[in-house]
Amino acid sequence: MRNSFVCLLLALPIAGCGTGPFQVKPPLENTEAAQPAVAVEPSEETVEEVRSAVRPPQNARTVEEFDTTTAEERVEAAAPATGGRSLGTTIASLGDPTKAGFWLETPLVDAPAKGRVVFPGSGKSAQVDLIPIDAPDGAGSRISLAAMRLIEAPLTDLPTIEVYIEG
CA 35 and chain centroid, separation: 30
Full-model pTM: 0.61
pLDDT at 98 over 50: yes
Those residues with Cβ within 8 angstroms of residue 164's Cβ, 6 or more apart along the chain or in another chain: 81, 84, 85, 86, 87, 115, 116, 117, 118
Lowest mean pLDDT among 70-84, 99-113, 119-133: 70-84
Contact 145, 67 (CB under 8 A): yes
Choice between 42 and 84, residue whose per-residue pLDDT is larger: 84
Residue 109 binned pLDDT confidence (cut-offs 50, 70, 90): very high
How high is the pLDDT of residue 1? 52
pLDDT at 126 over 60: yes
- Domains of the chain listed by start with CATH number: 50-165 (2.40.40.10)
Contact 75, 126 (CB under 8 A): no
Average of pLDDT values for 94-119? 94
How high is the pLDDT of residue 3? 53
% of residues, the chain, pLDDT over 70: 59
pLDDT at 2 over 70: no
Average of pLDDT values for 39-66? 53
What is the β-pairing status of strands 85-94 and 141-143?
parallel
Those residues with Cβ within 8 angstroms of residue 123's Cβ, 6 or more apart along the chain or in another chain: none
DSSP for 23-89?
---PPPPP-SPPPPPPP----HHHHHHHHHTPPPPTT--SHHHH----HHHHHHHHSPP---EEEEE
Residue 73 binned pLDDT confidence (cut-offs 50, 70, 90): confident
pLDDT at 68 over 80: no
